[in-house]
Structure 1
Amino acid sequence: MEKLLLIAVLAAACFGLYGVQLDEEAAVRVLFELKHAVNRAAHAAAQQVDLEQLADGRIVFDEPAAVQAAAWYLQHNLYLDEQLMAGEGASIKGGVDILVLEFIDDASTFPYEYTNEVYDYAVTLYRPGVILIIEAEYQRMFSGLGPIIWQVKGAAEIVR
């Protein structure tokens, strides 16, 4: 009888650990999904230049268009609505907060060392570019573990 009870307890513990492992694998998949979406959104924002300034040989970002392009890419890659809240099919809970969307145009000298100590991010840009940092929450499968909150960072330079 004692052995049967021991086997039942060990089986329950193994299934619990297996469930936690599955949850961790799902969380890493969602983190990769977020990172790819941030990279795509930053790249889209970096392509939004002011054409009048470009005609004069200067690279200056059209910031309203860049913000709109970044938001559009986040919406469509992460299944978010217009307010960047999780829609049907989204892997995250709640929504996405854009913490930093910074434009480094040709008024800076390159290579440009961007550092943000608040979010522990540093990158070197060799051409004008965009820095994007978002925050998203992943709801774990087991409510006892609590959610994971990520700050996902990305940068993109303008493509020649």
Structure 2
Amino acid sequence: MAKLVFSVLMIVVWWMLHALQMDEEVAMGTVHEAKRAVDRAAHAAAQQLDRDKLEMGVLSIQTDLAEDATLAYLRENLSLDASLSPLPGSFLRDTVEVRAFEIVNEDAVFPYTYSNSLYDYEVTLDRPGVVLVVHVVYPRLFGVLAPVEWDLEGSAELVY
């Protein structure tokens, strides 16, 4: 009888450990998908040329178009609504926050090193570009575990 109880308890423990491992796997998949979305959003923002300045031969990113492109790409790639809250069926459950959005334009001296000590992020840009930091929360599958949170950084330069 003791061996039977021990076996049942060991099976339960094994299932719990297996479930925790699967939760970690899903969390890693979430961070990879979210990081790709941040990279795509930064790249889309960096491609928003200011056409008026381009006519004068100056490469510059148009701020309002860049912000719109960033939000559009985040919404599309992460299945978010206009307020960056997850839509039904999204792999996220909490609102996504854009913590930093910086446009480095033609007024900077290139190569330009952007540094943000708050997020421990540094990148060197060789031409006008965008730097983006987005906060994403992954809700754990088991309520006893705290959610996992990431500040995902992305940057992109204007490609011409």
Distance of 1:89 and 1:120 partners within structure 2: 33
Aligned to 1:92: 92
Map Cα deviations across residues 89-148 of structure 1 (whole Å, 9 max, x no partner): 211112111111100112212221111000111111112100000011111110100211
Aligned to 1:70: 70
Distance of 1:95 and 1:8 partners within structure 2: 40
Q: Secondary structure at the match of 1:152?
A: strand
Q: Secondary structure at the match of 1:153?
A: strand
* 1:149 shift after superposition: 1.2
Aligned to 1:107: 107
RMSD: 0.9
* 1:76 shift after superposition: 0.5
* Number of residue equivalences: 160
Aligned to 2:60: 60
Distance of 2:89 and 2:77 partners within structure 1: 11
Q: Structure 2: give runs of 5+ residues left out of the alignment.
A: none
Distance of 2:9 and 2:113 partners within structure 1: 55
Aligned to 2:48: 48
Aligned to 2:22: 22
Aligned to 1:128: 128
Map Cα deviations across residues 59-107 of structure 1 (whole Å, 9 max, x no partner): 2221111101100000000000011110012111121111111001122
With structure 1 as the length reference, what TM-score do the two structures score?
0.97
Distance of 2:29 and 2:40 partners within structure 1: 17
Distance of 1:110 and 1:10 partners within structure 2: 61
The ranges of structure 1 where at least 4 consecutive aligned residues each deviate by more than 6 angstroms after the TM superposition are none
Determine if the alignment matches structure 1 residue 12 to structure 2 residue 24. Answer: no
Aligned to 1:82: 82
Q: Secondary structure at the match of 2:15?
A: helix
Aligned to 1:140: 140
